[in-house]
Structure 1
């Protein structure tokens, strides 16, 4: 049985689970910065997950199916996630960095694209990390099951992506979270903050983050220091974050409200990850992906 959104958000181990997931995603950035940045803003997350789902949904009997510019554009613009030009630029960027390539065989219109091995490995690692985070809540074996049967992701990922895409609250994060996530590499900053939560003091109104070096973080994430400081200032003006040493701004805290809203938002995605994987397992057992 998979977790519901409410069960996840209220689970006493959910914050440690999110901290674990944030640490895992941070480590993924350290091992492959360029591809990790494809999921580092919410718009790019939506574009990337939708593109991968379209690829996995390819049916040779259905003309125009699979990952094409037209298919991705239609889905993304329908949900008002990005413009047509942004979708085209996104595909061109993936091709430039060799995260995508033309599908093998005769070139037809519209052109169909497939992920390269590095993209497959990155998406598999992302789904695996999310399953491992859910396993921490109930001692389940989801991550081990995916490792044992990697094809499960081919069933689960499109269902998860479609469910997230259809959920208004996931597409449009709470303002305190969206402040970061609608900006380039903002998701990396939030992952960094979550990975440093002081869980010993997690029950208070202000949760300690410890030392926060904006200059070093901006360099590491390859973003403008001015841009990062602007984000932090706006968040502090909202009361979502602050510093124990206001003058030096080196030791940070986050508010309980920020953490609660972030947890509620992440619960939507993790519930979709869990439900889709459970569905994939049951359909694999029956040998029926439909």
Structure 2
């Protein structure tokens, strides 16, 4: 059985795995900051997922069912991701960066289909592999191995995952503070960094202490300006979601329990979507660690 979001949302085993995922996401960004900075906001990441899903879900009976500028823009507006102008500008930017290209000699010369370049696809493959690895950590499954041994599985999984994410309100908007960060360029990476720094989680404490955090280091690592980061931090502080404890002369950053819960809820819902997609698309004989799933669900 797939892991359920309700079982993950308050499970301390999942929290530790979620922290590992946060570290993996920041490491992936470090591998290619130029490429990954293109998708370093919720809006742009959702548009990337949408574009790939249109590419991987064509209809042989209908040449218009694929990745086309008009279809992408219409879908982005329909899902409430972006305006027509923003969606159109995103595609043009992807073309300019050569992350997407126009297909030569299309079946219907009246249409200009698009396809993602390998460098863009592989960045999302790595993203999926990292998430499958975390799911395997939870129940002893072999999802990540399945993806490596069957590369075509990605094309089957991605549209299902994208649809699940695009249609899930808890993933799209888990909370006010999460939304503040994730819709800002590199804001999601900053959250990942904060969550990865948590050493001791007390689910009953109103504040969770991280320790000293260098703003200059964050700006340098995640390509975010000092002004931009300060605006995010100041706004989150006004919301009571984070702050600094200056006891003992140290500038110790803390996060509110509600902020951590928003992040936790988002991750639980996202991982549940990915696992459900895997179980619906992967071959039945692939191990998924069913007995361990029951054990995980029983952890208070």
> Normalising to structure 1: TM-score of the pair?
0.91
**1:189-240 deviations in Å (ceiling 9; x for gaps):** 1111122121x34444322222211122113322220110111111112121
Q: Do the aligned partners of 2:157 and 2:277 also contact (CA within 8 Å) in 1? A: yes
Q: RCO greater where, 1 or 2, for CA within 8 Å and sep 6 or more?
A: 2
| Residue 47 of structure 1, CA deviation | 0.4
Aligned to 2:163: 162
Equivalent position SS for 1:101: strand
Note if 1:19 corresponds to 2:8: no
Q: Do the aligned partners of 2:174 and 2:265 also contact (CA within 8 Å) in 1? A: no
Equivalent position SS for 2:87: helix
| Residue 39 of structure 1, CA deviation | 3.1
| Residue 167 of structure 1, CA deviation | 1.7
Runs of 4+ with deviation above 4 angstroms: 246-249
Aligned to 1:288: none
Aligned to 1:252: 253
Q: Do the aligned partners of 2:41 and 2:188 also contact (CA within 8 Å) in 1? A: yes
RMSD across aligned positions (CA): 2.1
Aligned to 2:242: 241
Q: Do the aligned partners of 1:152 and 1:284 also contact (CA within 8 Å) in 2? A: no
**1:241-288 deviations in Å (ceiling 9; x for gaps):** 111228988421212111112111221111111110111114899xxx
Aligned to 2:103: 103
Alpha-carbon separation, structure 2, partners of 1:168 and 1:29: 26
Alpha-carbon separation, structure 1, partners of 2:202 and 2:110: 54
Aligned to 1:215: 216
| Residue 11 of structure 1, CA deviation | 2.3
Q: How does 1:162-181 map to 2 (within 5 A)?
A: 162-181=163-182
Of stretches 25-34 and 108-117 in structure 1, the one that deviates more from structure 2 is: 108-117
Alpha-carbon separation, structure 2, partners of 1:113 and 1:4: 35
Aligned to 2:65: 65
| Residue 30 of structure 1, CA deviation | 0.7
Equivalent position SS for 1:10: coil
| Residue 86 of structure 1, CA deviation | 0.6
| Residue 108 of structure 1, CA deviation | 3.1
Q: Do the aligned partners of 2:170 and 2:265 also contact (CA within 8 Å) in 1? A: no
Q: Do the aligned partners of 1:208 and 1:252 also contact (CA within 8 Å) in 2? A: yes
Number of corresponding residues: 284
> Normalising to structure 2: TM-score of the pair?
0.88
Aligned to 1:123: 124
| Residue 45 of structure 1, CA deviation | 1.4
